[in-house]
Amino acid sequence: MATLRLGDIAPDFEQDSSVGKIRFYDYLGNSWGVLFSHPADYTPVCTTELGYTAKLKDEFAKRGVKVLALSVDPADKHQGWISDINETQNTSVEFPIIADADRKVSDLYDMIHPNANATLTVRSVFIIDPAKKVRLIITYPASTGRNFNEILRVIDSLQLTDSHSVATPVNWEDGQDVIIVPSLQDEEVIKQKFPKGYKAVRPYLRITPQPNK
């Protein structure tokens, strides 16, 4: 299969998980989704990542996002690992962990990079929108834990820029000023869309308060 790229339709799949059989599209429904892979169960970095993600349950929920993790180990092994995560990270993992023992999903999403490790999945993250399009792909080395505050920040940006004619600048966080997209040039339309006005640093760089705040 060709490498998955931004804008592609995320492949559907059915696979066992820590909560039983899951069909990916049915699980997502009309929600946004975050699918993230782990090299294996009982790995220390993953334990911290899954624990922190569980603590962000309310943050994902208020953005309409469903989370789904993946590890190449079988479902029965996931259960013991979840107990460890809950105990050591002082949380409760309630989202499913896919049991990808046959590497079906790992292959669909190109999560195994042979030059890094021939059998273990890399730390991949996919943000998928309600139309099932892939909107973000980040791949980390196995030794580096992911920044899930950044995942939330990107979701905030995607949801904002999908509904308004703006882009978000470097290090932007929800509530900060944004950039009017260069393709929008009609001043009457700009006044309607951005009643708080804007500052033109350059003709192509127009800063305006976040329009939905």
Q: How would DSSP label each residue in 77-113?
A: HHHHHHHHHHHHHTS---S-EEE-TT-HHHHHTT---
Q: Compute the radius of gyration of the chain from its Cα atoms.
A: 19
- Do residues 99 and 15 lie in contact, with contact meaning Cβ atoms separated by under 8 Å? yes
E strand map for 115-168:
123-128, 134-140, 166-167
- Do residues 208 and 181 lie in contact, with contact meaning Cβ atoms separated by under 8 Å? no
What contacts 106, CB < 8 A, 6 or more positions away? Answer: 37, 70, 72, 100, 112, 121
The reply to whether 46 belongs to the active site is: yes
The alpha carbon torsion through 58, 63, 66, 72 (nearest 10 deg) reads -90
Catalytic residue among 22, 34, 46, 75: 46
Active site residue ranges: 46
